[in-house]
Structures are given as C-alpha cells and as structure tokens.
Structure 1
Amino acid sequence: MTNLANCRAVVTGGSAGLGLEIVKALARRGADVTAIARDPEKLGAARDAGARLIAGDATDAALIHRAVADIDPDVLVLNAGARLPLKTIDKEDWEGFSAIWNTDVKATLAGVQAALNTPMRPGSRVLIMSSGAAMVMSHPAIEPRNLRLSGGYVGAKRMIWYMAHQAQAASDDHALGIRFQVLVPTQAIAGTELGYAVAAVQAREEGLTVDEYMVKRYGPILHPTQIGQQVAELLNDPSYETGVAYGFRADTDPFVLDL
C-alpha cells in the first residue's frame, strides 16, 4: 500500500475536502497527480501536496477530454461535486434541487466519455465517487426522512453508481480494457463540510451533538483523510481490480457492494 510511483492520476474536485485528501494520499505514495478544480485560488493546498494543477470546470467536457488526452493517466478520479441548499422539498426550486445533477452527474458523464472516447489505455482505471446516500432506499439503516434536506442528491448519487456499470459495459463491449469503479463512503456524512451541515440539522432536531447523532445513526465517522487512504489502498491492491462497486467504512477495509 506504499508504492504508486509509476501511476499518473487525475483528480477532479481536487482543491478541497475529499478530493484534496485523495490528491494527498496518492501523492504520498509516489503518484504523479494532477488536480482539477474551478477556483485557481483554492488549488494551493493541492500544489503544496505535490500535484500539478488545472484550473477549470469538471463539467466542461472539452477540458476533461484534453486533460485525459494530454496527461494519459493510469487513474482518473471523478470527484467534483456541488453544494446543497439544505432545504426541505416544499422550499426548493428546480435550480437548487437539480444542482447535484448539473454538477456531479454532468461531470461524471464528461469524465466517463473522455475515458471511453479518447480512449484511456487498457488496464487504466476510472474511480467515480458516489455517497452512502445512494443506498438510502435499499439500506435499512438509512431512513429516507433522515436525508430530507438533500434535494436531488440521493438520486444523483445513485445515478452515478449506475453510470459506472454503464461505462463498464461500454468498455467491455469495445474491448477497451478500462476498469470503471464506483466508490461509496458509507459513514462520511459528518466528515465533510456539506455532510456536517446536514448532520447538524438532524442532530439539533433530536437534541444531540453531531458526533452523538452520527454514532447513533451510522457508527464511527469516516473522515476524508481515511477515504483518501482507502482510495490509495484500492489502487495498490490487486484484489480490488475487478469489482465495480466498493463501499468504505471507518472500521474495515474497502468491501464489495455489487454481488
């Protein structure tokens, strides 16, 4: 789990939060990392971690195609995402409700198409970051009402999961040899700025601290630093090369979600 010295990686949304921790974890293990983010002023931390920088919007298909063609990465991490307005559905407008679709899903489509149409080399991998919220209708520990401030987030993150399967099918159909994998952190809600805001609202309603609420609902908190480490582990361990969907938890190694 210590050597990615021969790996070229591109990480979208790499300036802060989860994306930055992935940049740091890959760079620490010797990877040649390029971070992409919209705001050039926020890319300093990625630069300090040793990454190359591209200032641009991950939903810009032309930009992502150029990056994949020019860098020729072994690994493309699709992590870019939007913030939520944190409103109940009766207070939402379509612009706010669809923000995740117009950013996360659109950026995923741009990245997937860049990988398939350039194409990336056989043996390369595309890691698509989803969320434990994608399990809300199928996991009994996550009740839909507990994510009622999430707008279109749940559906968008489930769609991203499905897109990994669509992309893998296209790679297989055209014998491209590209592996698409969706990663689903299942306890990270309070470990990110966005998730913390959501958890704080729910915690107040129940008269709990955020940490108390998280432990009660989901178990130990999975922090972005841990997710970055698990992404690096996944890339460096051959046993993770073949699955399409992997879950992350704070108290175990990455585990297969699709059976």
Structure 2
Amino acid sequence: MTGLKNKQAIVTGGSAGIGLEMVRSLLAQGAEVTVIARDDGKLAAARDAGAQAIAGDATDAALITREIDAVDPDILILNAGARLAAKTLDRQNWDDFSAVWNTDVKATFIGIQAALNRPLRPGSRVLVTSSGAAMVMSLPAIRPEDLRMSGGYVGAKRMVWFMAHQANAVSRERGLGILFQVLVPAQLMAATELGHAVAAAYAEAEGITIDEHILRRYGSHLAPEQVGRQVVELLDDPAYRTGVAYGIRAGVQLMPLD
C-alpha cells in the first residue's frame, strides 16, 4: 500500500481503542495524522506513535472547523464517541439514554458539516464510525433482545450511517467530489474499553464470562488491530470507493453493506 504516503488525516476519538489503531495504521503507511480527543492524558499513545495531538471536544464546531482549516485533510475520520451506559431501559435516566446522541451523533454532524462547508478538496474521504448494532432491525441474525442494554445507542449509530448518505447526496448535488463512507465494526471488541464494559454487563446478566459471551455471540474475537488495518485497506484500495458502508468481522475481508 503506497497511496496514503504523505496524505493528511484527522482522526477524532483517536486516543484509544479502534481510533488509536486507525492512527497507528495510517502512520505506518506514511500518512501524517492529527488526533483530536478530549482527555489530554490519554493522547500520549497517539503522540508516541508519531501523531500530532490536540486535546479538545469533537462536538466543538469551532475547534473542528479550525483544525480542518489548519490541516487541510485528505482524510477525515469521525470516530469520537461516548461511553455506553450498559443498563436495561428501566434502569436508565435520560442522560444515560441520550449520551451517545449528544456525543457520537453531534460530533458526526459537526464533522460532516465542516467537511461540506469548507469544503474539503475533491477526492477527499470522510469515514464515519457506526456499529453493527445499527443493523439490529434489518438483520435477523441480531435479535433486538440481544441489545436490550443499548438504550439510545442503536438509533444513534443508525443515524450516523444515514448522515453519510445525506452528505453524499449534498456532495453530488454541489459537485464537491467528497466521498463519505461508514465503518461498521460488526461485533463487540472485548479488547477496547467500551467493548469490555458492554460485554461485561451482558456476561454478568447471562451468568457467564466475557470470553464466553463473545464466543457464543460472535464465534471469535475481533482485534482492534484488524480494524486499523482494514481502515487503511478501505482508504487505499480503489475497489472500496464505490460503496458507502463496509462491515468488519473477525478474520474476514471488508463486507459491503450498502
């Protein structure tokens, strides 16, 4: 892979988990990466990998606009997200339920709007991180009951997916040449902080271990490093410039979803 060398990339939520693996994979291919995340203390890993790091909130429109103007990115990855309150609906308050909307959806809205209104250069790519949970009502293999502790997460992750389609429509209508795509990690990752917390909640409710929960539901573990590698593949291989959403499952190639 050579197409990412010297490309400028911004990754929100790139201080840990799959965001950090995306950063590492982009850097390994010669891209220059700027990471935006709220906790400056957690940005050390991104800095150690060779990225520029900005402590800030991805829902801050002024910050995102300023950094896009400064970096002029070829690649914008909107990965910032909130922690999921893994509780059944009767045990959540409105702040628990809406946290993902107020972070993931708002940050995606702000990032997409900034990309369209600047606008980014023709040929630029914007990746939005969704989730396999967004497929719950359209994919019979995922029973709604299996996501009973997800609260507002399912709808939020479907919304950011839909927003990418809306953004592509605007890009086409305005002749901008910006491609908006959706990354769909289609299973929990116990190796990430969020995935571990959610898997732990379900495992406790089911009276099994986290490993048993992951293996029973998905058959194998998805490593964050695989997500990082496949994001680079998605960005570098021309074959992946025709679809909008691509799913990631352990040990398999990128799956076109729409």
The interval holding the TM-score normalised by the smaller chain is over 0.9
Q: Distance in 2 between matches of 1:205 and 1:152?
A: 19
Per the alignment, residue 195 of structure 1 pairs with: 195
Per the alignment, residue 18 of structure 1 pairs with: 18
- For structure 2, the residue ranges without an aligned partner over 5 or more in a row are none
- One-letter code aligned to 1:116: L
Q: Distance in 2 between matches of 1:196 and 1:41?
A: 21
1:187/1:220 contact within 8 Å kept: no
**1:76 is the counterpart of 2:85:** no
Q: Distance in 1 between matches of 2:210 and 2:92?
A: 25
- One-letter code aligned to 1:165: H
Aligned CA RMSD, in angstroms, stands at 1.3
SS in 1 for 2:160: helix
Q: Distance in 1 between matches of 2:78 and 2:209?
A: 32
Q: Distance in 2 between matches of 1:2 and 1:250?
A: 25
Map 1:78-157; keep pairs closer than 5 Å.
78-157=78-157
- The superposition leaves residues 29-55 of structure 1 with CA deviations (integer Å, 9 ceiling, x where unpaired) of 110000001111211100001001111
1:38/1:56 contact within 8 Å kept: yes
Tell me by how many angstroms 1:203 deviates. 2.2
After the TM superposition, which parts of structure 1 deviate over 4 Å for at least 4 consecutive aligned residues? Answer: none
Deviates more, 1:31-40 or 1:143-152: 143-152
Q: Distance in 2 between matches of 1:150 and 1:30?
A: 37
Deviates more, 1:164-173 or 1:249-258: 249-258
Tell me by how many angstroms 1:2 deviates. 5.3
Change (3 A) 1:37 1:23: same
Tell me by how many angstroms 1:123 deviates. 0.2
- One-letter code aligned to 1:26: L
Q: Distance in 1 between matches of 2:40 and 2:200?
A: 30
Q: Distance in 2 between matches of 1:204 and 1:100?
A: 23
1:108/1:128 contact within 8 Å kept: yes
Deviates more, 1:110-119 or 1:133-142: 133-142
Tell me by how many angstroms 1:182 deviates. 0.5
- One-letter code aligned to 1:246: Y
SS in 2 for 1:127: strand
- The superposition leaves residues 202-254 of structure 1 with CA deviations (integer Å, 9 ceiling, x where unpaired) of 22333332222212212222121110111011111110112111111112111
Change (3 A) 1:207 1:224: same
Tell me by how many angstroms 1:3 deviates. 5.1
- One-letter code aligned to 2:18: L
2:25/2:232 contact within 8 Å kept: yes
SS in 1 for 2:11: strand
Map 1:25-44; keep pairs closer than 5 Å.
25-44=25-44
SS in 2 for 1:98: helix
Per the alignment, residue 219 of structure 1 pairs with: 219
SS in 2 for 1:54: strand
Q: Distance in 2 between matches of 1:87 and 1:187?
A: 18
2:188/2:199 contact within 8 Å kept: no
2:130/2:185 contact within 8 Å kept: yes
1:179/1:242 contact within 8 Å kept: no
TM (norm. structure 1) is 0.96
2:35/2:46 contact within 8 Å kept: yes
Deviates more, 1:195-204 or 1:68-77: 195-204
Q: Distance in 1 between matches of 2:78 and 2:164?
A: 11
Change (3 A) 1:164 1:79: same
SS in 1 for 2:190: helix
Per the alignment, residue 174 of structure 1 pairs with: 174
Aligned residue pair count: 258
- One-letter code aligned to 1:9: A
Per the alignment, residue 186 of structure 2 pairs with: 186
- One-letter code aligned to 1:58: A
1:187/1:222 contact within 8 Å kept: yes
SS in 2 for 1:43: helix
1:125/1:179 contact within 8 Å kept: yes
Deviates more, 1:189-198 or 1:108-117: 189-198
